[in-house]
Amino acid sequence: MTLAQSFYRPQSAYALLERGAQNPHERSSRAVLESLARIEEVDAEVRAMTAVATHEAALANASAAQGPLAGLPVVVKDILDTHDFVTSYGSPIYADHRPKSDAAIVTLLKRNGAVLVGKTVTSEFAYMAPTVTRNPCDPGRTAGGSSSGSAAAVAAGIAPFAIGSQTGGSTIRPASFCGVAGFKPTLGMLPTAGMKCFSWSFDTVGLFAAGVRDVAYLAQVLSGRPLALDRNAEPPVFGVPETYPWTEPSANASHVLDTAIRAIERAGGRVRPLRFDSWMAELIAAHDTIQSYEAWQTLGFEYDCHRAQLSPVLFAFLARASNVDAAAYANACASMARAKARLAELFDGVTALLTPSAPDEAPDGLASTGDPAFNRNWTLLGSPCVNVPGLRGARGAPIGVQVIGRPLDDARCLAAAGFVEHAIIASAGITVSQRAAV
């Protein structure tokens, strides 16, 4: 299937808000109906959804919606509890499971007027097992993982907003593969209560939208913090690593990063080279140790009582995880604490860091969700990260660039990401509404 035949059609939340400025209730009903119609049109191919609201329930919720997200359709990763939808966490162990309450982030969405139109596919317990979801940009490729359905739903125009999660690279990587904006906020900025826990040290709620401006608006509403973009901010200075201790980017990813750098400099931003010290390399093993030790406990019931229903990928991981002892865990946590104490060194004289979001375009086929190597360390460090869409690799599929900020400095990170996105768009001579055609 060629890109011209793809299902890529992200929609801007701001466009929906502006369309219904005079009549919000009419806007709400229309937006919800369009979302449900889009699911019927494309999801048999994209396979992003695990559950879909009825027209009656969605319209009733839209008519009663109030707040800054009033009537805007949203989809939620099936790792988060919902009392009005089955929540299976991507596992047959929890088929037909119906929680008695919503996750905290779902309650926040509803309190602010969003209309939940369905649940999205997740890798099993948000780990690495491949899913059935296809990439809307090229259905012959993976949408990534573990938030595959959430990224694909936004890319396919099913909803303007989606909720995901990230423990390694589960928001930034699928956003990169699917050509949408993804935001992993500072660890703990958004509540994880009601999310099926994998690793309590790393699990983070992630957000998806068509562009950075949209995802910043959603983050502001849900967090109550001033995160919406300010076009009058000073041009940022980006630190760009000279080499990477985890894996080198492909020629594709390097070319995309170079293209973004040229666009940034044309727009008045600056770029400085950055060298990682040895402690950044040590975090690769620390992440694996901490995640393994914690997952062995959080998924203990599933392993002990239902191991035959686990995928081979997760079963093998948990079997290895059982060998991580408390001493190794303590040492890894100490390495993490030392690295967090030194993190400010990376931001000396720079606004944010800039790297590829993934090593390459999305892999062909559905056998792999891709490599989270460019994301794990920043998840461990609790840094806010944004995937900036708008660029493509040599084979025509998206590759994003990742903007990384200091922990608790989410506003500056989002502003820097907005600058990059605007620079890319200006460099290509297109508007945000035209980007889907590029």
Residue 106: enclosing H or E segment and its boundaries?
Answer: helix 104-111
Map residue 68 onto helix, strand or coil: coil
Can you give the pTM of this predicted structure? 0.96
Which segments of 103-218 are extended strands (E)? Answer: 115-120, 134-135, 138-142, 161-166, 181-184, 204-209
**pLDDT confidence of residue 2:** 45
Residue 401: φ, ψ to 5°? -110, 145
The catalytic site residues sit at: 77, 146, 170
The pLDDT tens digits for 152-190 are 999 999 999 999 999 999 999 999 999 999 999 999 999
d(Cα 343, Cα 186) in Å, to the nearest integer? 14
Which is nearest to 404 in space by CA: 390, 420, 424?
420
Residue identified by tokens 């423990």 is 167
**pLDDT confidence of residue 387:** 98
Residue identified by tokens 């044309």 is 266
Q: To the nearest 10°, report the CA torsion of 150, 151, 154, 155.
A: -150
Which is nearest to 156 in space by CA: 169, 144, 138, 141?
138
Residues of the chain with pLDDT under 70: 1-5, 20-22, 429-438
Residue identified by tokens 């369009």 is 34
Q: Which domains does the chain have, with CATH numbers?
A: 3-274+345-437 (3.90.1300.10)
**pLDDT confidence of residue 336:** 98
Token representation of residue 45: 């191919």
The pLDDT tens digits for 323-345 are 999 999 999 999 999 999 999 99
Which is nearest to 184 in space by CA: 201, 159, 206, 156?
206
Map residue 140 onto helix, strand or coil: strand
d(Cα 253, Cα 399) in Å, to the nearest integer? 7
**pLDDT confidence of residue 20:** 62
d(Cα 148, Cα 155) in Å, to the nearest integer? 11
Token representation of residue 228: 């919406």
**pLDDT confidence of residue 437:** 34
